[in-house]
Structure 1
């Protein structure tokens, strides 16, 4: 735990008692603050009280006694309308912040030299976060990884000089972290996402920009126009910018040229690493992820040769193009984390013959943006709320069937793939949708896919032979 001492002796309101909210409440208490916590879910309030957190219905609280409102990132700050706790805080002139902001203030207060590598973007941020943490650990450094991935940031080990904090940041968390100042800030890419919470694409991009604008070194993907504009803008403001790309040459930064990562400085180019044969970094999107990680570690002063050596052992990220089984020529790939069309595009681009499982709770735009990849899809198996709409998009373009549930889709896709004579065939769960119509999160959906795959006779027999 990282005790939060910046509110010692003061009273803090906290709303949202999920995993990060409870971690925040306990970190504030450990640092000497008095916490008054609440949640719209009575069960969470009861659980917090059982763990010794003082709970109080903030609708009836005296807001003049609060030094801040610490808001869980899943609670609406601005759109579609501010949560009632936010409105009460603003009426009382109380600042509204989140757990990442508390971490940043604590770091600045007691250990400003502890390296902070903060990663954001619409797609690729979790893989890049995991890759950076893996590389640093492999190279023998003291590393803590968390934030929007895995461990809540305030549940990480206490701040110490030389301890590297690799923190994934969602747009919600950045919106609640006005003073974030990473050692290396990374913006992977931008495409429409979470617009129900940010209103417009411009608002969403502006929030993401804050992370790199406050960085000592900014690593910015320039394969989309929003991020490219951000790179140009913060460079003009004096931030040191290293541009990255999965396919476009850069004068200053790191870019992919096929499987090769090329490092460029003032136009001079050197080979940084070769990704050929690293299964967990297959595809152009992973080339961009690797370029970001490579640029970040170079900004920290690590040698290109050491980074290249450590890349080889990266095992990949669960639920992101994760090969969970193989039966002869057939690969079974769990890409449950692809919760929008842009994320699914990377997986579809990585295989030539695909039996595609898609659907769930739809996002704006549907799957029409994936039309360029339709020729790669032998057949689609549609699940969840989006099934009917996706079927209409695919009519006359891709053979498909509505399966409803994931287990049915896996069974039918596997049977069809077994009859396909192609040299390599992929049964791919890459839903291009959120999971919330059938599963509480993408991890549970991915685990359900893995369980359904492992239950297949062909997979069991392949493992017996092996």
Structure 2
């Protein structure tokens, strides 16, 4: 834990006692703040109180007595409307911050030379974060990984010289971190997402830009127009920029040509490594992740040999292009984290013959943007609320059946893939949808897929569907 000593003796209202909010409350108490924690869920308030966190009903509090409101990232700051605690804090002139902001303040107080690599982007940020932390650890250095991935940022070890912090930041966390100042700020890409929380694509892009605008070095993907514009603006402001691309060479940065990764500096391009044969980094999207990781690791002092070693040994992340099983020539891939069409596109581009499990709670735009990849799809198996909508998008273009559930989809897809004569048919769960119609989160959806695959593989061929 990192005690938040920058708020010692100050009165702090805290709203949201989920995972990161509870960790933040404990860190504030440990640092000597006078905390009044609250949540709409009474059970969370009771659990916090039992753990020694002071709680108070903020609905009846005197907000003029608070020095700050610490808001959990899942609580609306602006859209669709500010949470009532936000309105109360603003009316009283109280600053509003989140856990990443508190971490940044403690880092500056304790060990400003401890490297902070902060990662954001619509897609790929978790894989990139995990990949960087893995490379740094494989090189024998102390890598602390957290934020929007796994461990809350204030549950990491205390800042000290020599530690490398690799922190994934969601747009919600960036919005609550006005002084975020990473050693290396990474922005991967932008596509429509979370617009219910940010209002417009322009607002969403502006929030993402904050992560790299105050970095000592900005690593920016330039393969979409919003991100390319971000790179140009930051460079004009005087911040050093390393551009990354999987579409075109760059003059100063890292780019991919297929699975070959090149480092460019002052116009000279040098082959850095080839990702071919690394299953966990398969596909153009992972080439982008690897390019960003290479740029960041070079910036914090790792050499080529250390970085390549880490790339080759990276095991990948669960639910992100995860190879769940193989049976003969058939591969089963769990890409449950693909909660929008842009993420699913990355998976579809990675395989040639796909038995695609798709559906859930659809997001804006559906799957129309994926039509270029329809020729790769041998058959689609539609699940969840989006099944009827997606069937209309596929009609006359891709053979499909409405399976309804993960279990039925896996059984049917396995049956058809086993009968296929392609050299590597792939049963792919890449839903292009949120999970909330059938599962509480994408992790549970991915786990259901893996369990269903296990059941299918225990059955002889021809018995996948009862």
Counterpart in 2 of 1:234? 234
Worse overlay, 35-44 or 131-140: 35-44
Counterpart in 1 of 2:284? 284
Counterpart in 2 of 1:149? 149
* 1:111-126 alignment, distance < 5 Å: 111-126=111-126
Q: Secondary structure at the residue paired with 2:355?
A: strand
Distance in 2, Cα, partners of 1:54 & 1:194: 32
Counterpart in 2 of 1:78? 78
Q: Secondary structure at the residue paired with 1:269?
A: strand
Unaligned runs of 5+ in 1: 462-466
Q: CA deviation at 1:310?
A: 2.2
Q: CA deviation at 1:458?
A: 5.2
Counterpart in 2 of 1:106? 106
Q: Secondary structure at the residue paired with 1:46?
A: helix
Q: Secondary structure at the residue paired with 2:255?
A: strand
Counterpart in 1 of 2:464? none
Counterpart in 2 of 1:303? 303
Is 1:130 the equivalent of 2:130? Answer: yes
Counterpart in 1 of 2:335? 335
Counterpart in 1 of 2:362? 362
Counterpart in 1 of 2:216? 216
Q: Secondary structure at the residue paired with 2:5?
A: coil
Is 1:25 the equivalent of 2:34? Answer: no
Counterpart in 2 of 1:431? 431
Q: CA deviation at 1:45?
A: 1.3
Q: Secondary structure at the residue paired with 1:131?
A: helix
Worse overlay, 434-443 or 337-346: 434-443
Distance in 2, Cα, partners of 1:375 & 1:360: 22
- Cα distance change, pair 379–54 in 1 and its aligned pair in 2 (3 A): same
Q: CA deviation at 1:49?
A: 1.5
Counterpart in 1 of 2:374? 374
Counterpart in 2 of 1:464? none
Distance in 2, Cα, partners of 1:145 & 1:305: 22
Counterpart in 1 of 2:187? 187
Distance in 2, Cα, partners of 1:457 & 1:445: 19
Aligned residues of 1:325 and 1:459 also touching (Cα < 8 A) = no
Counterpart in 2 of 1:389? 389
Is 1:63 the equivalent of 2:67? Answer: no
Distance in 2, Cα, partners of 1:432 & 1:364: 11
Aligned residues of 1:272 and 1:305 also touching (Cα < 8 A) = no
Aligned residues of 2:138 and 2:306 also touching (Cα < 8 A) = no
Is 1:448 the equivalent of 2:448? Answer: yes
User: TM-score of the superposition, structure 2-length normalised?
Assistant: 0.97
Aligned residues of 1:327 and 1:458 also touching (Cα < 8 A) = no
Q: CA deviation at 1:305?
A: 2.8
Aligned residues of 1:274 and 1:308 also touching (Cα < 8 A) = no
Distance in 1, Cα, partners of 2:451 & 2:47: 31
Question: 4+ residue stretches of structure 1 with deviation over 4 A?
Answer: 458-461
Worse overlay, 49-58 or 248-257: 49-58
Q: Secondary structure at the residue paired with 1:456?
A: helix
Count of residues paired in the alignment: 461
Distance in 1, Cα, partners of 2:269 & 2:459: 45
Aligned residues of 1:336 and 1:443 also touching (Cα < 8 A) = yes
Counterpart in 2 of 1:10? 10
- Deviation string 1:126-172 (CA, Å, 9 cap, x unpaired) is 10000000000000000110000000000111111111100000000
- Deviation string 1:163-207 (CA, Å, 9 cap, x unpaired) is 110000000000000000000000000011000000000000000
